[in-house]
Amino acid sequence: MTGGTYQSHLRQRDRAPRVMLYSHDTFGLGHLRRSRALAGAITRAMPEASALILTGSPVAGRFAFPRRVDHIRLPGVTKRSDGSYVAQTLGLDIEEITDLRAALIETSARQYEPDILIVDKEPSGFRGELLQTLKLLRAGGRTKLVLGLRDVLDDPELLAAEWSRKGAAEVMQEFYDEIWVYGLREIYDPVAGLNLPASVRARMHWTGYLRRDLGPGAAHASDDDPYVLITPGGGGDGEFMVDLVLSAYEQDPDLGPRAVIVYGPFLSGDTRAEFEARVARLEGRVSAVGFESQIEPLFANARGVVCMGGYNTFCEVLSFDQRAVIVPRTVPRLEQWIRASRAEELGLVRMLEEGRDGLTPAAMIRAIRDLPGQPLPSQAMRDGRLSGLLDGLDDVTRRVSALLDHPAGQAAE
């Protein structure tokens, strides 16, 4: 962002720009990590801007946040096996906890007075908790409202039913100035199959994926100690993949290089203890850590990656040009399977799928042994396909600049 453009923002508002990001975070790390990456990019591009993240993630406090970025932790909720939700710690029923979260969001918006609100994935928030704040900010006339969508949401038919039930299209049409898709149209359209009004589709921008980097001071590891990185993301639903990798190393004593497992903060309890005992018996061929808030160096220095198919992990695979085997989950959403299968079609990764490959130790052994022969993601892009694949953060900062240059009610070019 140029100095002249930035000074124009100051003249318009008599203060530095403020960006608020909302991520409901009822499960996993994806929404918080995406919001954190966006906030960091925006504040780096705009030296005096600040960003405030509202998040329901129970592990938000374990992350370091960039300068001029802070967060407010909303009371957490947990999804039960039957699909219902319950407060994590406060003993409130779901209506009470939703009302509390909604009040905290509205109060934060009133006090912070953001110039831009970026909402992650859920147009009306968890159980509609964002609607009152959207009405407040729209009526105030100074805040631009943006909905950010990952590249894949779910199977189109399932998504259509869910969004119809929530009135998502109506909320998008009434409140949001722009809809950003953190991916490429050539890979997937997350709202394909939805009956969105033309006026809503006209507000959509495909940004490209959100590039990750090592950050200042990060070191490259020695090639003398090669490893394969094993990551189930947040870990809450990744125990089957970790079990499969451990079984592969147990059954093949010659399998290499060594594996480094990052369990994630949500893989814990008896399952974690059992995995730790199995790791110890492998006598250094596998090592494990519970949680890495800065996982980027592990990606950058690996000889290959075995992972689930979450959005942030996929961004890291692409950013560090890693050969990867993706083992996607298929419940409760098909998001990871859709992303992995489309990426495999394009030659970016290999997918290990139960119906085709079998989720067995033998299949995992073959996948790890075949990793060195896989093409790098960059090789799939050499013919000019997928231009702008990792331009997401740069495009977001350009969109933020454009929105700040156009007061509420005016369209940004």
CA 380 to chain centre: 23
Domain that holds residue 305: 227-381
Whether residue 152 sits in one domain with residue 90 = yes
pLDDT of 385 strictly over 60: yes
Residue 9 — pLDDT band, cuts 50, 70, 90? very low
Instruction: Flag whether 218 is in a domain.
Output: no
Residue 204 — pLDDT band, cuts 50, 70, 90? very high
- Show the beta-strand stretches assigned E in 249-319: 258-262, 286-289, 304-307
Whether residue 342 sits in one domain with residue 244 = yes
Q: What is the pLDDT of residues 51-70, one digit of tens each?
A: 999 998 888 888 888 899 99
Mean pLDDT, rounded, for 174-191: 97
pLDDT of 308 strictly over 70: yes
Residue 87 — pLDDT band, cuts 50, 70, 90? confident
Q: Return the pLDDT at 1.
A: 46
Residue 351, helix vs strand vs coil: strand
Instruction: Flag whether 62 is in a domain.
Output: yes
Whether residue 168 sits in one domain with residue 20 = yes
Per-range mean pLDDT, top range of 11-15, 192-196, 341-345: 341-345
Residue 224 makes CB contacts below 8 A (sequence gap 6+) with none
Instruction: Flag whether 412 is in a domain.
Output: no
Mean pLDDT, rounded, for 124-152: 97
Q: Return the pLDDT at 7.
A: 45
What's the Cα-to-Cα distance from 156 to each of 86, 164, 187, rounded to whole Å? 28, 12, 15
- Show the beta-strand stretches assigned E in 61-115: 69-73, 77-79, 85-87
| C-alpha span between 171 and 178 (Å, rounded) | 12
Whether residue 159 sits in one domain with residue 133 = yes
Q: Return the pLDDT at 411.
A: 59
Whether residue 157 sits in one domain with residue 239 = no
Q: Are 26 and 78 in contact (CB under 8 A)?
A: yes
| C-alpha span between 43 and 76 (Å, rounded) | 27
Q: What is the pLDDT of residues 318-339, one digit of tens each?
A: 999 999 999 999 888 899 999 9
Residue 142 — pLDDT band, cuts 50, 70, 90? very high
Q: Are 74 and 58 in contact (CB under 8 A)?
A: no
> Looking at residue 195, which CATH number applies to its domain?
3.40.50.2000
User: Higher model confidence: residue 315 or residue 222?
Assistant: 315
pLDDT of 266 strictly over 90: no
Domain count for the chain, please give it. Answer: 2
Q: Return the pLDDT at 10.
A: 44
Whether residue 168 sits in one domain with residue 22 = yes
Signed CA dihedral, 184, 190, 195, 197: sign only: negative
